[in-house]
Amino acid sequence: MQAESAAGIGRLPGQTTESFRTRTTDNPDALLVQKAQEGDVDAFERLVERYERTVYAIVARMIPSRDDAEDLAQEVFLQAWKSIRRFRGDAQFGTWLHTITVNATLKRIQWLKRRDALSLDDPELGLWEHVADDSGNGPLDVACSAEARQAVQKALAKLSDNHRMAVVLHYFEDYSCDEIAAMMQCSVGTVWSRLHYACKKLKADLGTFQASLAEQVET
């Protein structure tokens, strides 16, 4: 996923054409980004095809409603399209896009909370829909019993938005702590601290049920 997003996008101030061409050949996103910055919608649509799954995954694991998640994902891409001319290539395009995604998602969650429209307690909606919605094989069948599902879901819903976002990005989307730090615009130590706190909080909230759930998972 992150391997797809290449490094170094866009022309930096004072950068020579040769070095920029060298970078564009090494970076599959660079040429598309350059064309998109010149107003090429087709080039930006190619970028959308590359990143729509990752962007939607982050949004959908944080926003309960599928419709709301799709609307927000579209808004993220529209925002990226409007501001792509300000992208200078200091970071990877994927990191830049995911930073927009994280910020937009946290902002939307706050907006939904203010409108009392967020209901993560609903077992049929929210995080659990994307955490355990596949009735696959192996220990997940055991772990995702109705009781376990509800317990983990409630424990995750009690986390703050930043802690839950760190958990989602690290344990569900498999981003490294360095990448999460870039996305959430904080230090790597802060990311580790948030993950540590989230794990301790989840354990405390799960209580006695956590031991039995872990035992089921191990078996």
Partner 1 sequence: MNCSKAEKLLLRQAEGALDERTSSCLEQHLAACERCTQEMADLREMRGVLLSVRTPAPKPSVDFHSRLAAELRKDTGRQAKRWPAILSWPVPRPSWALATAGAAALVAVAGYLHVLPELQTGTYKTAGAPPAATVRTAPSPDATLPSVASKRAAAEKSPQTSSAHGLRIDRNPERSSALHPGGTLKQRPASPALPEQAATDKRPSVYTRLPERIAGLPVSASGMSATEKDTTLEAVPEDTTPGRVTKPLSAMRGAATGGSIAPMAAAPVTGSLPPSLGFGEDRAFHVAANREPEDDSRASARGIAERADAVQMVYGSIDARARALFTY
User: What CA–CA distance (Å, rounded) separates 169 from 184?
Assistant: 10
Give the DSSP H or E segment for 23: helix 17-26
* Residue 167 backbone phi and psi in degrees, to 5: -65, -45
- Is 106 within 8 Å of 165 (Cβ atoms)? yes
Name the residue nearer to partner 1 (CB basis): 26 or 211.
Answer: 211
- Least separation in angstroms between residue 53's CB and partner 1 is 6
- Least separation in angstroms between residue 127's CB and partner 1 is 10
- Least separation in angstroms between residue 195's CB and partner 1 is 6
State how far the alpha carbon of 159 is from the alpha carbons of 36, 96, 204, in Å: 38, 25, 12
Name the residue nearer to partner 1 (CB basis): 84 or 115.
Answer: 84
Name the residue nearer to partner 1 (CB basis): 63 or 91.
Answer: 63
Name the residue nearer to partner 1 (CB basis): 23 or 50.
Answer: 50
Conformation bin of residue 151: beta by default, left when phi > 0, alpha when psi is -120 to 50: alpha
- Is 164 within 8 Å of 171 (Cβ atoms)? no
Q: Which residues bind partner 1 (CB under 8 A)?
A: 37-39, 41, 44-45, 48-49, 52-54, 56-57, 60-61, 66, 70, 73-74, 77-78, 81-82, 85, 129-134, 136, 139-140, 143-144, 152, 167, 171-173, 177, 189, 192-193, 195-196, 199-200, 202-203, 206, 210-211, 213-214, 217-218
- Least separation in angstroms between residue 8's CB and partner 1 is 20
What DSSP state is assigned to residue 2? T
- Least separation in angstroms between residue 114's CB and partner 1 is 24
Closest listed residue to residue 74, CA positions, set 56, 95, 91, 99? 56
- Least separation in angstroms between residue 1's CB and partner 1 is 8
Name the residue nearer to partner 1 (CB basis): 19 or 83.
Answer: 83
Residues 6+ apart with CB under 8 A from 20: 11
Name the residue nearer to partner 1 (CB basis): 25 or 85.
Answer: 85
